[in-house]
Structure 1
Amino acid sequence: MSSIVKQGDWIILYHSDKHRYVVKVEEGKMFHTTYGSINLSSLIGLKYGDEVETNVGEKLTISRANFVDRLETIHKHTQVIYPKDAAYILIATGIGPGSRVVEAGTGTGYMTAILAWYVKPSGRVYTYEIRKDFYEKALKNLENLGVLQHVEAKNKDIRNGIDEEEVDAVILDMPDPWTVTEHAKNALTHGGTIAVFIPTMPQLEKTVVSLRKTGFKQIEPTEIQLRKYKPIPEELRPETLGVVHTGYVVLARKL
């Protein structure tokens, strides 16, 4: 991997832990921060770890952005599956290179991008989104993140059926996933997993009932909790503020 900043690279411009900026290097583009502006063209050819000055003399350090950093640039016009829940879903479903995964709804493309990143280079994500405006925005996000080639996006209502067969996993993030459990079972390969993300207890109950009626096995409703601590030795304790609840994850297998 090159240590030189190139056109099209995703980078972090770091000022402090509270002020860091993730941006794609594009020639001729100005990037504006709290600490002034930078012409991104001036970064091309510099080394990672170099410092650059804004137009008002503030120094920022150039670092390489990873994929999670890049996800921060997605404008979240819908609620997304948080990284802690997404990570659990990935591990629990066994999704990896070569996996074929059905997802609904696409929303911003946040979870779609994560799935695409992990199924590449030979896998495929088939994502369904009923709203045309969300579908179009998600396509732009996926293209910008460089994962669109691993995705087949559909502006369709998954409640009307799933086109794919013998898929490894079905991921549902929608208000009424119980309307899709039969379609999901038909689409899954034997041994495949369905993962449902829902925010409320009534939705959780309806989903579990539907999975049982549909004949899924190993039904596991779960809540993943994450507790962050202040990174100060003299004050090492849980952070005062934080997200207490994101949602529930229900896993089930076709066996």
Structure 2
Amino acid sequence: MALRGPLELGEKVQLTDRKGNMITIQIESGAMVQTPHGHILHDDLIGMSEGSVVTTQTTPRRAEDVDKKKPWKAARSIGGWQYAVMRPRLADYVLSMPRGAQIMYPKDIAQVLSLGDIRKGMRVLESGAGSGALSIHLLDAVGELGELTTIELRPEFAHIARANATVYFGGDPGWWSLLQGDFDSVAATLPADGYDRVVLDMLDPWNRLSEIERVLAPGGVFLSYITTTTQMSRLAEALRNSERWTEPQIDETLERSWKAQGLSVRPDHQMIGHTGFLVLSRLMAEGAPALRRRERGAKDTYTDIDREQGPEALESLGLRDISDRKLRKVIRDLDHQRSVLESKQGN
């Protein structure tokens, strides 16, 4: 993918109008893109500089082609509408590219790259290529000096991911090994301590910890993207129950854009809320147990009260009690508030 210079045949181009509506296309010889306001010829874009403005042309229509029940639709063929021409950012490309599986949002991918400390020259193992959104970012981050190995169970998803990456990079990235099959079988063939980072996007990552411990180098970072609280909790407990993993770090990223126009400065009414959780942990060296924080004995967050019977069961939970001094203050405040209310009603 070219970074600068005139636009070329085969490149992706992003067209944005004054309302912020975007159209992403790939330039093809002799092709035409139909917009809501006329059409644009691809040949007119070849050789154009980024930051230029292109104007739509009126699309000729025969009278018999006009829908008489919806005549207003004919207005969509009228030209004269302007679009700014740019090469898409990686985030724009990912959101607009063809996809089969649901992609990971850019806000979560950014956290994967940052919290996972994924840098140039690293060897990264990924499972769950999907449509290739995360794979493209990982390939871009490690660069040609690094290596990305991706395990994808479904061949059709592998095909989509490779095609999206090939279009983005302008050719098949040679530092990417895309392997098809289930994670356990494929990971068993990979070298021990062969990877600096492992990133999973799958339903049951807690069942893969033993194999990850084998292929990840000591000190390496493990990151898992999961969408539900039950998955997050189960993975966190599995990591804690093992002596090989540091205390899991759990993050969720929310995204909200703002409008700033004159004196009207406010957040957008819509935002990208929950999409998933990122669970991060690092692998300890063999024979060096992970350090765990000592929990206070007064709290029990593991006992299921529904399975306990009798008042002695409640006592065994070690529930936090309120002090007598605090209790007297609460009662005194409430009695005062009630007396004020009663005096008001008596008047």
Q: Structure 1 length as normaliser, TM-score?
A: 0.92
Q: Which has the higher contact order (CA 8 A, sep 6+)?
A: 1
**Unpaired runs of 5+ in structure 2?**
59-78, 285-347
Which string of whole-angstrom CA distances, capped at 9 and with x for unpartnered residues, describes residues 44-88 of structure 1? 122223222222222222223222222223223322222111111
SS of 2:221's equivalent? strand
Give the letter for the 2:182 counterpart: D
Q: Which residue of 2 aligns with 1:160?
A: 185
Q: Which residue of 1 aligns with 2:106?
A: 83
Question: Is contact 1:230–1:239 with CA below 8 Å preserved after alignment?
Answer: yes
Question: Is contact 2:250–2:277 with CA below 8 Å preserved after alignment?
Answer: yes
Aligned length: 255
Q: Which residue of 2 aligns with 1:53?
A: 55
- Inter-partner Cα distance in structure 1 for 2:167 and 2:247: 38
Asked if residue 180 in structure 1 is aligned to residue 208 in structure 2, the reply is yes
Asked if residue 206 in structure 1 is aligned to residue 234 in structure 2, the reply is yes
Q: Which residue of 2 aligns with 1:189?
A: 217
Q: Which residue of 1 aligns with 2:268?
A: 239
Which string of whole-angstrom CA distances, capped at 9 and with x for unpartnered residues, describes residues 193-240 of structure 1? 000011111000111122223421142111122222223343322222
- Inter-partner Cα distance in structure 2 for 1:51 and 1:243: 30
Q: Which residue of 1 aligns with 2:328?
A: none
SS of 2:239's equivalent? helix
Asked if residue 229 in structure 1 is aligned to residue 258 in structure 2, the reply is yes
Given the alignment, which residue of 142, 156, 159 partners 1:119? 142
Question: Is contact 1:161–1:183 with CA below 8 Å preserved after alignment?
Answer: no
Question: Is contact 2:240–2:247 with CA below 8 Å preserved after alignment?
Answer: no
Q: Which residue of 2 aligns with 1:74?
A: 97
SS of 2:197's equivalent? strand
Question: Is contact 2:116–2:223 with CA below 8 Å preserved after alignment?
Answer: yes
Give the letter for the 2:52 counterpart: D
Question: Is contact 1:22–1:72 with CA below 8 Å preserved after alignment?
Answer: no
SS of 2:217's equivalent? strand
Which string of whole-angstrom CA distances, capped at 9 and with x for unpartnered residues, describes residues 21-47 of structure 1? 222222222222222222212211222
SS of 1:231's equivalent? strand
Q: Which residue of 2 aligns with 1:254?
A: 283
Deviates more, 1:227-236 or 1:79-88: 227-236
- Inter-partner Cα distance in structure 1 for 2:119 and 2:215: 18
- Inter-partner Cα distance in structure 1 for 2:136 and 2:229: 27
- Inter-partner Cα distance in structure 1 for 2:172 and 2:120: 15
SS of 2:263's equivalent? helix
Question: Is contact 2:255–2:271 with CA below 8 Å preserved after alignment?
Answer: no
Question: Is contact 1:159–1:179 with CA below 8 Å preserved after alignment?
Answer: no
Post-superposition offset of 1:17: 4.5
Given the alignment, which residue of 125, 132, 137 partners 1:109? 132
Q: Which residue of 2 aligns with 1:128?
A: 151
Deviates more, 1:115-124 or 1:77-86: 77-86
Q: Which residue of 2 aligns with 1:12?
A: 14
Post-superposition offset of 1:94: 1.4
**Unpaired runs of 5+ in structure 1?**
none
Q: Percent identity?
A: 27
**1:3–1:133: structure 2 CA closer, same or farther, 3 Å change rule?**
closer
Question: Is contact 1:104–1:128 with CA below 8 Å preserved after alignment?
Answer: yes
**1:111–1:201: structure 2 CA closer, same or farther, 3 Å change rule?**
same
Question: Is contact 2:256–2:270 with CA below 8 Å preserved after alignment?
Answer: no
- Inter-partner Cα distance in structure 2 for 1:99 and 1:182: 22
CA RMSD for the aligned pairs? 1.9
